[in-house]
Amino acid sequence: MILTADRVALPAGLVGPGWAATSGDRVTGAGAGMPSAPADRHLTGLLVPGFVDQHCHGGGGASFTTGDRAEAERVIATHRAHGTTTMVASLVTDTEERLVASLRALAPLVRTGELAGLHLEGPWLSPGRCGAHDPTLLRVPEPAAVARLLDAGEDAVRMVTLATELDHGLDAVALLAGREVVVALGHTDATYADTLAAIGAGVTVATHLFNTMPPVHHREPGPVLALTADERVVVELVADGIHLHPEVLRRAAASAPGRFALVTDAMAAAGAGDGDHVLGPSVVRVRDGVARLVSNGAIAGSTLTMDRALRYAVTVAGVPLEAAVEAATATPARVLGIPDVGALEAGRRADLVHLDDDLEVVAVMRAGAWLEVS
């Protein structure tokens, strides 16, 4: 199949007009201008790679945190309809027994390629920055406990978020990095010096930058400046207008060019509307698209989909379109170490999203097959 479009997001940047060709489940070529052979279809608007979400807890009224395979498949289908063709399943703090059960239930979806990996967001978080995580279930990252959860996931755990300033924190970072797990700093009370030490030990991601971490202070810079300044670190940004003011989002993106990833941090209400839902062991009430714990009102993830995150970043926060597309595709693919997604170039998996001029999803292709988009 040969597709032409008004604009195409290529690894070198946005071009217009442009084209992409696929055969089976692979991209066979892409470029600027018109293809040498007649096109099968012209797409009005923008053609981009499939979105890659490295941080998602649920959607469509379902949640990864239940460990139920049918629910996981509903989450995946919901986000695919919004352009996310590669997804990591994020779990929240829970008992070790329930986390082990969830990891074992979801690992087969990683082996079949339905998920790109699993993400443990907790239980090794700062009690003072736990956000929507149950503080009674938090613990320090003793290497033996970390190893037990990794073993339960059978190599499916791709990323772990932890507060590295906790006892055993840097030892846990070394363990995770040694097992080729992406290590993220988040839900943390780390100082600037703590953060530099964490990056030196192997931290390469900032989990939802600014949220659940100390703010910048003129005498104690905290983690934000260290994370945005270091070329080894990719910072996650939740572009929903709730987690971050649009000016903060714009400035953070500008401070880390090519090193910020748009993430949804979505929970069950994404694509499902208001109501009561669960996030791990906690009950979440969603009103007007804002998710908060029933128990204490803390923000509990988001109701975002990646197409909405892209639109908000560009049209509200003023992030350049080219940079926002990269942050939703190539950058998270690089973080996760997945070489065959995130770009329109020969040899990559044929994951494509057709957006109209308002950046609304028109059509989605995954592995060469068009998906149903409502």
Q: Say which of 53, 265, 307, 351 is annotated catalytic.
A: 265
Helix (H, G, I), strand (E, B) or coil at 13: strand
Cis peptide bond N-terminal to 257, omega within 30? no
Mean pLDDT over 15-30 rounds to 97
CA distance linking residue 211 with residue 341, whole number of Å: 28
Look at the chain and count its residues.
374
Beta pairing class for 282-287 and 58-59? unpaired
Chain segment 335-370, per-residue pLDDT in tens: 999 999 999 999 999 999 999 999 999 999 999 999
Residue 281 pLDDT grade (very low, low, confident, very high; cuts 50, 70, 90): confident
Q: What is the pLDDT of residue 156?
A: 98
Residue 93 pLDDT grade (very low, low, confident, very high; cuts 50, 70, 90): very high
AA identity, residue 159? M
Residue with tokens 């791709």: 158
Clarify whether 265 is annotated catalytic.
yes
Nearest to 52 by CA among 326, 342, 257, 363: 342
Q: Is the pLDDT confidence value at 244 over 80? A: yes
Domains and their CATH numbers in the chain? 2-48+345-370 (2.30.40.10), 51-336 (3.20.20.140)
Q: Give Cα 62 distance to the centre of its chain.
A: 17
Q: Is the pLDDT confidence value at 374 over 80? A: no
Q: What is the pLDDT of residue 373?
A: 83
Q: What is the pLDDT of residue 209?
A: 98
The CA–CA distances, whole Å, from 110 to 98, 106, 349 equal 19, 7, 16
**Mean pLDDT across the chain:** 96
Nearest to 199 by CA among 167, 236, 224: 224
Q: Is the Cβ–Cβ distance between 206 and 159 less than 8 Å?
A: no
Chain segment 118-149, per-residue pLDDT in tens: 999 999 999 999 999 999 999 999 999 999 99
Burial class (CB in 10 A: 0-12, 13-18, 19+), 185: buried
* Tokens at 79, concatenated: 């986000």
**DSSP letters for 242-305:** SSS-HHHHHHHHHHSTT-EEEE--B-TTTTT-SEEEEETTEEEEEETTEEEETTT--B--B---
Where b means 16+ CB within 10 Å and e means fewer, 196-233 reads: bbbbebbbbbbbbbbbbbbeeeeeebbbbebbbebeeb
Q: Is the pLDDT confidence value at 92 over 80? A: yes
Mean pLDDT over 19-29 rounds to 97
* Tokens at 56, concatenated: 């998602």
